[in-house]
Chain A
Amino acid sequence: MTGTIEKTDSIVEIKHLKKYFHVSGGKLHAVDDVTLSIPRGKTLGLVGESGCGKSTLGRVVIGLISATGGEIFFNGKDSLKYGPAERAQFRKHAQIVFQDPFSSLNPRMTVSQLIAEPMVINRAYSHRSELDHKVKKLMDTVGLAERLINSFPHELDGGRRQRIGIARALALDPEFIVLDEPVSALDVCIQAQILNLLGELKKERGYTYLFISHNLSVVRYVSDEIAVMYLGQVVEKADNLRLFQDPVHPYTQALLSAIPVARLNRKKGRILLEGDVPSPVNPPPGCRFAGRCAYRQDVCMKQTPELREIEPSHLVACHFARNLRPHA
């Protein structure tokens, strides 16, 4: 879709990715024809509200769930066509940190067992002492006090639990990490510590992140580029700064205006969207946002807008991008 994809060194290239779930009412279009690329060493922020398919996208990219269609190139090779050996390697190189540190950790394992697990499974160390050393190093890296080494997850607060999740993801020295709402469960101060930690790790070790979050303030802070999803589709993608300065899609505009800012002197008006996000099951043709859009026209209800480049590296899926007028 963009001419620039081939030129940059992208670690991940997603092309026309689809993931449908069969549910009782029909097909749930969780991810519907998404094309994105993530340059090496960069962070792509993926934002959207619950149910927009951002977590599903992250999981499909990492190979935790299968794709319904499309291609995902990892270091130039389609990861959906990997054999078993390649897949095992891929799993080391691509890691994920989950959203909910309560349900993603085995409650019957201690901190050291949890952090050691990926290394034990992959036989990363032949000596127990090396493994213990690495576990302690990882705990130090993610800011877990050594006295917690024999604690169980239920004894720890959400912040510490999430640090275990991050330590597990780092254990095998990956290249690419999907961060699925990694700081959403954390207190603001801890959140800042974790964001700094993730930033340092990226700088020191050259990690590439897919940073999935509903929190645009956080995404703005960590990302190089940002893609906004709505009901399974990317509606806008741009450089970090440009997206916030010049949001073009009506959904992006509403989303940005809805974020509370800790300042009193803010003049920006709020765009209140009507109603809720519609069901992703058997979505009707046309723009998915049309039902809530103040600028919808007849064509929006009939024809799905393509994600098109309106300026260099600024992509928008709206028939009337830059040409919005209130609907009659």
Chain B
Amino acid sequence: MADFQKKLLDIRDLTVQFDTDSGVVHAVNHLNMQLEEGKALGFVGETGAGKTTTALAILQLIQSPPGEITSGEIWFKGQNVREMTEAELRNMRGREIAMIFQDPMTSLNPIMTVEEQIMEMISLHSDLKGSEVRERALEMMRLVGIRPERAKDYPHQFSGGMRQRVGIAIALACKPSLLIADEPTTALDVTIQAQVLELIKDLQKQVKTSMLLITHDLGIVAETCDSVAIMYAGHLVEYADIQHLYGNPLHPYTQGLFNAVPDLESPITEKLAVIQGLPPDPTNLPRGCSFSPRCPYAQAECLEKPCGMREIEPGHFIDCYFPHQYEGGSRA
């Protein structure tokens, strides 16, 4: 972690809470995570694990109240976004960090043509002027595979996959340094998902953007990312490059995730090995390791105090006292 300069994004001890009627929701807890330039990081976890909250924290878009970043630093290109002025943030959003959302139907403006929406992004967040704006918009449309004659169409005239292409065109129009893709293909069919993922991968290389890919699908991560961060109940539990993570998943939760998801190459057993129980109530997280109530290997220590992230082999971090060899074998 010494070569701090090379990190595009460096999140240190980030904690985000939401004050709700039912108590304080501990959405993200003491998160440490880095993303190198040009790399793609898969950010994996179930609903409520804190993935989207982290993304919004990076963009300083946590609505407050009820949300609040209670601790931590988010270094982006050597600058702590928590200390940026509103003007600096506006300049960063869209130009430096762009986002693709899960549902392109609700994230696009229904009464603007797709060309206008791409142009809006370009004129707000780049130095291009006049006809250059339209030219860039058309170039982006070509890049994502939307025919120019569709420029004047509205979002509802597009299929889900094509709409997501519009979302990608908007996000990448200003050649951002960081692309946050929040479940970009979850709403799409598999054959369309394959097209869109292929497109994102290609463009990520062409535009030389780093990517934080939020997903629940370890299959998508395997195909798209360089490293993986696994979140559980607002805590990062395992963090490694994909070779380590798929070759030797060590956190019991990560192992549970692999077991729970049948894939096309796993043997068909009578039962899936499930993680018993449910994620903890985020307003009342366990005192010890947040996974301990569901963990098959939990010991007394685990219930007392979380282990904290530790480097178990070079570049492979886990938050677990008693890592067990994964019985399911290597997937690398």
A interface vs B, CB < 8 Å?
A: 49-50, 157-158, 187-193, 195-196, 199, 214, 216-218, 220-221, 240-241, 244, 254-266, 270, 272-273, 276-277
Q: Contact check, A254 vs B262: say whether CB atoms are below 8 A apart.
A: no
Q: Contact check, B242 vs A264: say whether CB atoms are below 8 A apart.
A: yes
- Interfacial chain A residues near B260, Cβ < 8 Å: 188-189, 191-192
Q: Contact check, B160 vs A266: say whether CB atoms are below 8 A apart.
A: no
Q: A217-B262, A221-B262, A260-B223 are in contact. Are A187 and B47 (CB under 8 A)?
A: yes
- Interfacial chain B residues near A188, Cβ < 8 Å: 46, 216, 257, 260-261
Residue in chain B with minimal CB distance to A240: B268
Q: Contact check, B46 vs A187: say whether CB atoms are below 8 A apart.
A: yes
Q: Contact check, A196 vs B274: say whether CB atoms are below 8 A apart.
A: yes
Q: Does B2 contact A (CB under 8 A)?
A: no
Main secondary structure of the interface of B (DSSP, over half): helix
With an 8 Å Cβ cutoff, the count of chain B residues facing the other chain is 48
Q: Does B129 contact A (CB under 8 A)?
A: no
Stretch at the interface among B52-60, B136-144, B189-197: B189-197
- Interfacial chain A residues near B217, Cβ < 8 Å: 260, 262
Give B246-274 as 1s and 0s: 1 = Cβ < 8 Å from A's Cβ atoms: 11000000001111111111001011111
Q: List 17 A-B contacts (CB under 8 A).
A: A49-B189, A157-B47, A189-B260, A190-B278, A191-B261, A192-B261, A195-B262, A196-B274, A217-B263, A218-B262, A258-B191, A259-B190, A259-B263, A261-B219, A261-B222, A262-B246, A264-B247
B interface vs A, CB < 8 Å?
A: 46-48, 159-162, 189-195, 197-198, 216-223, 242-243, 246-247, 256-265, 268, 270-275, 278, 331-332
Q: Contact check, B265 vs A221: say whether CB atoms are below 8 A apart.
A: no
What's the Cα separation between A239 and B270 when bound, in Å?
17
- Pick from B220, B257, B268: contact of A260, CB under 8 Å: B220
A193 CB to closest chain B CB (Å) equals 5
- Pick from A189, A244, A265: contact of B46, CB under 8 Å: A189
- Interfacial chain B residues near A259, Cβ < 8 Å: 190, 219, 263-264
Q: Contact check, B331 vs A196: say whether CB atoms are below 8 A apart.
A: no
What's the Cα separation between A216 and B266 when bound, in Å?
13
Q: Contact check, B219 vs A260: say whether CB atoms are below 8 A apart.
A: yes
- Interfacial chain B residues near A193, Cβ < 8 Å: 274
Q: A189-B274, A220-B268 are in contact. Are A49 and B190 (CB under 8 A)?
A: yes
Residue in chain B with minimal CB distance to A218: B262
What's the Cα separation between A19 and B198 when bound, in Å?
35
B21 CB to closest chain A CB (Å) equals 11
B176 CB to closest chain A CB (Å) equals 25
What's the Cα separation between A12 and B73 when bound, in Å?
60
Q: Contact check, B194 vs A258: say whether CB atoms are below 8 A apart.
A: yes
What's the Cα separation between A273 and B195 when bound, in Å?
8
Q: Contact check, A272 vs B243: say whether CB atoms are below 8 A apart.
A: no
Residue in chain B with minimal CB distance to A158: B47
- Interfacial chain A residues near B189, Cβ < 8 Å: 49-50, 214, 277
Residue in chain B with minimal CB distance to A52: B189
B52 CB to closest chain A CB (Å) equals 14
What's the Cα separation between A33 and B198 when bound, in Å?
35
Q: Contact check, B191 vs A263: say whether CB atoms are below 8 A apart.
A: no
What's the Cα separation between A214 and B48 when bound, in Å?
24
What's the Cα separation between A260 and B186 when bound, in Å?
12
A267 CB to closest chain B CB (Å) equals 11
- Interfacial chain A residues near B191, Cβ < 8 Å: 49, 254-255, 258, 272-273
Q: Contact check, A217 vs B47: say whether CB atoms are below 8 A apart.
A: no
Q: Contact check, A276 vs B161: say whether CB atoms are below 8 A apart.
A: yes
What's the Cα separation between A170 and B32 when bound, in Å?
45
Apart from A192-B272, A221-B268, 8 more pairs, CB < 8 Å = A50-B189, A196-B271, A216-B264, A259-B263, A261-B265, A262-B222, A272-B195, A276-B192
- Pick from A190, A216, A270: contact of B194, CB under 8 Å: A270
B40 CB to closest chain A CB (Å) equals 14
Q: A217-B261, A262-B246, A264-B243 are in contact. Are A189 and B194 (CB under 8 A)?
A: no
Q: Contact check, A263 vs B274: say whether CB atoms are below 8 A apart.
A: no
B199 CB to closest chain A CB (Å) equals 10
- Interfacial chain A residues near B271, Cβ < 8 Å: 196, 199
- Pick from B265, B268, B270: contact of A263, CB under 8 Å: B265
What's the Cα separation between A54 and B247 when bound, in Å?
37
- Interfacial chain A residues near B220, Cβ < 8 Å: 260
What's the Cα separation between A216 and B193 when bound, in Å?
14
- Interfacial chain A residues near B159, Cβ < 8 Å: 276-277
What's the Cα separation between A258 and B195 when bound, in Å?
9
What's the Cα separation between A187 and B274 when bound, in Å?
12
What's the Cα separation between A324 and B11 when bound, in Å?
53
